[in-house]
Each structure stands twice: as C-alpha cells, then as structure tokens.
Amino acid sequence: MSERSLSPAWLSSWTSAVSGVLGEMAWEFERKHGFPPGTNLIRLTDHDDQDVVRALGSDARAPEDLVTFYGSIGEVVWEDVGNGYFIHPARDVLEHLADYGAVRVGESQEPCGLVIGSDGGGLSYVVGPDGSVLRTRAASLDEPELDRVADDLRHFLELLERSLVRFVATGEPGYL
C-alpha cells in the first residue's frame, strides 16, 4: 500500500472535512442562489452495502482503492455543486458493468474501466485498472474518448473537495 492509497482513516477525515463545507453551503445556499438546495450528501456505507462491496472486491477490474472507498462511503451526491457531482453506489457500478460491460481505457485490448460516477452534465467518471480516474468527453460511453482527471481515487476526492470549496467561495466549481 502506497502513501497515496486510501484508508478508512483517510476517508473518515475527508468525509468530516467535506461534510463541514457541505453544511456551510446548505446554510447559505438559498440566500445566494434564490432557491433551496437539493440533495448534497456523503452517504456512509451501511450493512446493506456490504455484500455488494464484497462482490465488487472479487472483480479483478476493481482497483483496491475503489473497494476501500466503497467499504467506507456508500455514495456521494452533490446536486448543487456546479452541474452536480455524483459517485454512484457500488450496486450501480456492478449493475452498469453487468448491463453494458467495462469501458475501454487507453490502448488496452480488453475493456477494463469501471464507470463510478457522473456529473450533472452527462459526463461519466471511469476508474482505470491502474486506479486513475478518467472523464468522458461526451455523454456517450460507446467507444468513449477519455481524459485523465486524477492519478488515483484519492487525488480525485481531493479535487472534488477543492471544487466544493471553490463553489462555496465563488459560485463556480471549476472544471472537473
């Protein structure tokens, strides 16, 4: 495990920090934007998620950090941060994999990327076999063009946090 690997302790710290910023955003949201906030939360993994997390962990395409993430965090729903940011529940990741298969990442011969989330604009986030996080350039996942947005899942979560902090301060989340 590298120093960049996710751990339950790091995820707990990230969740606490981000939850505080989400609370600040909710407090000021209606005054700043003229309408009440939607759903903006980090749902922790519960008992019902555990079987799904084990199933994901048994899939060779799932990087260890992704399994660690879902062992602590059930999903991320930030409807009001920019167009929105969503890290889908592990159940949705497995259902997408079963329904549509893995996503071809880079020059790989075999599709091996897992769709883990999306933004409110129709773009998807894919975790590659090396743990990097990529984003589609268009809403389609049929032969998608992907851009690397983070070196690993921890980096992606740090970028999400920065987008949230920027959104609370300026109303603009940046481009993630």
Q: Please identify which residue in the block is written with the tokens 């906030």.
A: 37
Confidence of residue 107 (pLDDT cuts 50, 70, 90): confident
What are the boundaries of each domain within the chain?
Answer: 8-170
CATH topology classification for 8-170 = SMI1/KNR4-like (3.40.1580)
Q: How far apart are CA 43 and CA 69, in angstroms?
A: 12
> How many alpha carbons lie under 13 Å from residue 110 in its C-beta half-sphere?
4
User: What is residue 98's three-state secondary structure?
Assistant: helix
Residue recorded with tokens 């920065």: 162
pLDDT in tens, 66-82: 999 999 999 999 999 99
The model's pLDDT over 82-92, given as tens digits with 9 standing for 90+, comes to: 999 999 999 99
Q: Which of 23-27, 38-42, 51-55, 143-147 has the lowest mean pLDDT?
A: 143-147
Reported as a pLDDT band with limits 50, 70 and 90, residue 109 is: low
Q: Are 151 and 142 in contact (CB under 8 A)?
A: no
Distance of CA 155 to the CA centre of its chain: 11
Q: Is the pLDDT of residue 112 over 70?
A: yes
pTM of the model: 0.93
70's enclosing H/E stretch is helix 64-72
- In eight-state DSSP terms, residue 101 is -
Instruction: For residue 131, give the DSSP letter.
Output: S
Phi, then psi, of 56 in degrees rounded to 5: -60, -40
